[in-house]
Structure formats: C-alpha cells, structure tokens
C-alpha cells in the first residue's frame, strides 16, 4: 500500500511541476512580448526621449543624438496586429533573452514592410529592454556620421591645390 501511495504522489508531483514549467514559460513570453510591444508603441507615438530610456546598451549615443536621429527617420512600427507577429523566445537567461519576431513597418524609404529577425533583449530595472542598435537598424539609421570635416575642399581643377 505504501508503494502505491508513493507512485501516486510522484505522479501528482510530476504533473504539478510540468504544469508549473509551462506556466512560467508562458509568463516569461508574455512579459518579454509586452515589454517589446510597449517599446514599439512608444517609438510609434514619437516619444523618443522616453524610448531612449526603454532601450539597453546605449554606449556613446547621447539622448540628444538619438532623438535627433529618430526624428529624421520616416520609418516606424506598424499599428495593431501588424506591429508584432510570430513572437517566439529562442533563448532566455535571467538577464538576457533572444527572441524571434516579425515587426511590421510603415514609412520605410526602401519599401520594406517588415523586419523579421532575432532580437537581443536585456533585463534591466525589472523590465526587458530592446537594444538601441536594433531600433536604429530597423529605423534605417546607420552608425556613419556625415562629418563635414571630411568633405573635399574647394580645389583648383588643375593642380589639386586650394583656390
């Protein structure tokens, strides 16, 4: 009789723990998806100062520089059901995750209507944050600067000397 009780108890524990694992995975996915969705909504609304705070790994990019670059871009996330499709967690750790998702886009000059790829996210301050570089990339903003110092000087056409 004790053996039957032990087998039944083990079976109940297996069912409970396997359900707990599914629930925590679903909760993690919904939290990652919600944080990414909120970030895309902030971007779509044009709240670039707030967007800057929602992103991770800013590096040398200042808030002012980021806001200026984002205002110059015509690309933004699509609305509603087109904003995010096929969201899937590929890898998750306590402080970082990799997700695969299709992000719908509007206003892209190269007529791209979506960005479907992997995105790295970092868990900071209790929130999952997208990478600043990913947002700049989706927006079509490159890291290259249009530096006026490197433009050609007004040279004489025959001897390449300044006029």
In a domain, 14, yes or no: no
pLDDT for residue 22 is more than 50: no
In a domain, 16, yes or no: no
| Torsion sign over Cα 152, 153, 157, 162 | negative
Q: Which of 32-36, 84-88, 105-109 has the lowest mean pLDDT?
A: 105-109
> Higher confidence at residue 58 or residue 85?
85
Asked if residue 121 lies in contact with residue 99, where contact means CB atoms within 8 angstroms, the answer is yes
Give the integer Cα–Cα distance in Å for 41 and 79: 8
CA atoms within 13 A on the CB side of 33: 18
What does the pLDDT look like over 32-66, one tens digit per residue? 999 999 999 999 999 999 999 999 987 889 999 99
The confidence band for 109, taking pLDDT boundaries of 50, 70 and 90, is confident
Q: Buried (b) or exposed (e) across 110-138, using 16+ Cβ within 10 A?
A: eeeebbeeebbbbbeeebbbbbbbbbbeb
Q: What is the mean pLDDT of residues 67-78?
A: 95
In a domain, 7, yes or no: no
In a domain, 84, yes or no: yes
In a domain, 155, yes or no: no
- Total domains in the chain come to 1
108: domain range? 25-142
pLDDT for residue 156 is more than 70: no
CATH code, domain carrying 68: 3.10.450.100
Q: What is the mean pLDDT of residues 69-80?
A: 94
In a domain, 159, yes or no: no
In a domain, 151, yes or no: no
In a domain, 37, yes or no: yes
Percentage of residues of the chain with pLDDT beyond 70: 69
């Amino acid at each position: 009789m004790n053996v039957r009780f032990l087998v039944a108890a083990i079976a109940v524990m297996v069912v409970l723990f396997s359900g707990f694992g599914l629930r925590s995975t679903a909760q993690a996915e919904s939290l990652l998806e919600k944080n990414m969705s909120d970030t895309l909504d902030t971007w779509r609304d044009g709240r670039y100062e707030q967007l800057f705070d929602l992103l991770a790994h800013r590096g040398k990019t200042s808030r002012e520089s980021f806001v200026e670059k984002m205002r110059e871009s015509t690309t933004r996330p699509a609305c509603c059901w087109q904003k995010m499709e096929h969201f899937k967690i590929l890898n998750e750790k306590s402080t970082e995750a990799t997700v695969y998702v299709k992000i719908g886009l509007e206003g892209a000059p190269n007529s791209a209507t979506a960005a479907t790829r992997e995105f790295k996210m970092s868990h900071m301050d209790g929130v999952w944050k997208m990478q600043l570089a990913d947002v700049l990339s989706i927006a079509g903003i490159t890291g290259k600067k249009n530096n006026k110092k490197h433009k050609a000087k007004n040279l004489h056409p025959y001897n390449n000397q300044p006029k």
